[in-house]
Every structure is written in C-alpha cells, then in structure tokens.
Amino acid sequence: MKRASHLVRRFFGALRPGPPRANDAAWVESVLTPGELEIWSRMVNHDRRHSVAVARRVQHSFANTPTADDSRWLAAALLHDVGKLDAGLGVIGRASATLAGAAAGHDMAEAWSAKRGVTRRFGLYLRHAELGETRLRLAGAREEAAAWAGAHHAEFKWDALGFPEGVVAVLDAADDD
Ligand SMILES: [Fe+2]
Ligand SMILES: [Fe+2]
C-alpha cells in the first residue's frame, strides 16, 4: 500500500484535464506494437498521462546505457496500469477504492469484484494488476509488459520475473502510484 501522500498527489494530478501532448503521443506510437497501442489508447486521459510520465522516467534512467534502445521496458512502463480500464472508476471512486482496500485489506478485492455495483468496481480497481496482465496477454503484448503489469504492486513476484539486473528497480522507482 502506497503512502497517503501518493494518494493525495495522484488525486490532484488526475484533476488536470486533457490527453498527453502530441509529441508524447507520437513517441508512444513509436514504442508500442499496434496491439499494445490499441489498449494504451483506450485508457482515460490521466492514466495515459501517468503512463507517459512513468515511461519518460524509465527512458531517462536508461539513457546512455545498453538498455536505452530496448523498447520492452518502455512498453512495460506505458502499459503497467491498463487493468484500470476494467473498473471504469473516476477520480473520487479510485481514491475511495484505495481507502476501502486499505481499511478492509487487499484480500477482499476478489470477493468484492464478484459482487455488483460500486463494490464490484472497487474490487476490480484493486485487482488492476492481474486484470492488466490478462488483458495484455490476450492482446499479444510483449511478455515483459504483461508480466510487469501483473507484478508491479507485488514485490514478492519480482525475482521470478527474470528481468535483467536493475530493470525492476527502475520500473518501480518510476511509478508514483
Ligand atoms: Fe498500478
Ligand atoms: Fe502506476
């Protein structure tokens, strides 16, 4: 569970309107495969802006290293939160889901997602990692992007990813929510 300061920053960050800038959107198109781009494009504006911010931080971290030209890690950054598509929650609903998950325990998410209405949406939101992984695999996205989407909030899964030394640390540090 991320700290409350992250939640507050995310809440106010999400209130900024508009899609990513045109040069960022063009960059995303150059990084993603057509199938990955199709999913990325369906995210709401603030999720796409978040994904670009995370991927730009990853790009910056890998600048002038052998990893700089490897678009798999940029794709992983751009696609890590695509599971949020499934809940269809707005800013207030997301903040509420996060607080409810913190209060009731994340283990409740699966039961909630089997219910109806807002309870179901909260459950789906809290399960966005695994839902994103499934969505990406079904779309034929690159393995690294699907695997990171599924693991990005679950530190115990990171060793099993088998990513090159240092990549997970960069991807995690770049994600501020
Ligand atoms: Fe996430
Ligand atoms: Fe994120």
Using DSSP's 3-state secondary structure scheme, residue 44 falls into coil
Residue spans per domain, the chain:
4-174
Q: For residue range 38-87, what is the model confidence (pLDDT) as tens digits?
A: 999 999 999 999 999 999 999 999 999 988 889 999 999 999 999 999 99
CA distance 15 to 44: 12
**So what's the pLDDT on residue 13?**
61
pTM for this predicted structure? 0.90
In tens digits, the chain (177 residues) has pLDDT values of: 456 677 666 666 666 679 999 999 999 999 999 999 999 999 999 999 999 999 999 999 999 998 888 999 999 999 999 999 999 999 899 999 999 999 999 899 999 999 999 999 999 999 999 999 999 999 999 999 999 999 999 999 999 999 999 999 999 999 987
Distance (Å) from CA 177 to ligand 2 centroid: 4
**So what's the pLDDT on residue 176?**
83
**Total residues belonging to the chain:** 177
**So what's the pLDDT on residue 12?**
62
Distance (Å) from CA 176 to ligand 1 centroid: 9
Distance (Å) from CA 153 to ligand 1 centroid: 6
Ligand in closest contact with the CA of 132: 1
Distance (Å) from CA 81 to ligand 1 centroid: 5
Ligand in closest contact with the CA of 48: 2
In the block, tokens 């779309």 appear at: 139
Distance (Å) from CA 9 to ligand 1 centroid: 14
Indicate the angle between helix axes 91-104 and 4-14, nearest 10 degrees.
Answer: 160
Ligand in closest contact with the CA of 129: 1
Distance (Å) from CA 153 to ligand 2 centroid: 9
